[in-house]
Amino acid sequence: MIPYSRRTWLHMLVSPRGSLSPGVMRRVLVFGVIAAALLLAHRFSPHVSLSIGVHEVAGAVIALILAFRTNTAYNRFWEGRTLWGSIVNASRNIARIVNAHAAVDPGAARELAVWVVVFVHAARRSLRGQAERPEIARLLPPEQLEALAAHAHPPLHAAQQISERLAAFARAGRIERNMAVCAEEQLNVLVNCLGGCERILKTPTPLGYILLLQRGVALYLATLPLALVAALGVLTPFVTMLVAYPVLMIEALGEEFDDPFGHEPNDLPLTRLCDTIERNLLGSSPLDLVMASKVDSYQD
């Protein structure tokens, strides 16, 4: 996600950052070329035109479809952000409970906190379909790293390690059982939130609806010059591109938000969220984060 200041209105008005999703400008230019071709056809045959009323009605329909697409896409984005907010809070709660209520040496408490951090990093990598885990390699010894990589679901393996350590603390009388139960409940929140993110990832917007939207938008923009050419003349391609830009951007943003966990400019800042958890729980030094960023590119 691109960070920005809400107070720099004029700068945001002219800034190119976040203004174009991948491929949008090419599509805008395609409809500009179509408009230029129809303008040329109109010059040779004035009958090549349509009544503006057709596009007024069609525009209302397209607006309704785009509004529905925007709402459903943003709901997916916001649900993903809510789930990751719960992951941040639950991670802090597990570490807080162990540090305050478990009579264990600092090394054991830190080891459990490391596995919480491993869980969030593994969850981020899993949602992004990435097999490399350089930030986890900094935290685990080789044998534990191999066991994590060999597991069918690395975040679940990390959750299992956390649960086993909480159970061991309880059996040894190092933590009261009710507090161990509280920590397990927070661990359940972590696993449930990851499951919610996987549900968003693996349940995209139905294909039929996407095809209807894309074909409707393409047909509307391709025929729009026919309704404008008689009144606007040579300005038709320019006005067509002005209309195409926001329509195609809304459609492209909907495509981005279908998977809000990736690296697109408007996706969730998962890397920053994971870094926040690591700093809160382990106090990672800025040097460690810089070293990790060189490997991971720290794209949000």
66 contact partners, CB below 8 Å, separation of at least 6: 213, 217, 247, 250, 251
Query: Which domain range does residue 262 map to?
Result: 50-296
Could you tell me if residue 80 is inside a domain? Answer: yes
Query: What are the DSSP calls for 12-42, one per residue?
Result: HHH--TTT--TTHHHHHHHHHHHHHHHHHHH
Segment-wise mean pLDDT, segments of 10 residues, the chain, 300 residues: 61 61 86 93 82 85 89 93 97 95 92 96 94 89 93 95 95 94 96 96 89 92 91 92 92 88 87 93 59 46
> Between vectors from CA 85 to CA 83 and to CA 91, what angle results, nearest 5°?
100
Burial class (CB in 10 A: 0-12, 13-18, 19+), 64: exposed
pLDDT of residue 220: 93
Could you tell me if residue 132 is inside a domain? Answer: yes
Could you tell me if residue 62 is inside a domain? Answer: yes
Could you tell me if residue 126 is inside a domain? Answer: yes
- CA dihedral for 120, 124, 129, 131, sign (positive or negative): negative
46 contact partners, CB below 8 Å, separation of at least 6: 230
The SS3 call for residue 284 is: coil
Orientation angle between helical segments 52-101 and 270-282, nearest 10 degrees:
10
Nearest to 36 by CA among 173, 193, 229, 210: 229
Alpha-carbon separation of residue 239 from 128, 218, 227, 244, 250 (angstroms): 39, 16, 11, 9, 18
Could you tell me if residue 2 is inside a domain? Answer: no
> Between vectors from CA 287 to CA 155 and to CA 135, what angle results, nearest 5°?
15
pLDDT of residue 23: 80
Could you tell me if residue 137 is inside a domain? Answer: yes
How many domains are contained in the chain?
1
Q: What's the CA gap between 221 and 27, in Å, rounded?
A: 10
Could you tell me if residue 140 is inside a domain? Answer: yes
pLDDT of residue 290: 47
Could you tell me if residue 10 is inside a domain? Answer: no
pLDDT of residue 2: 60
pLDDT of residue 294: 44
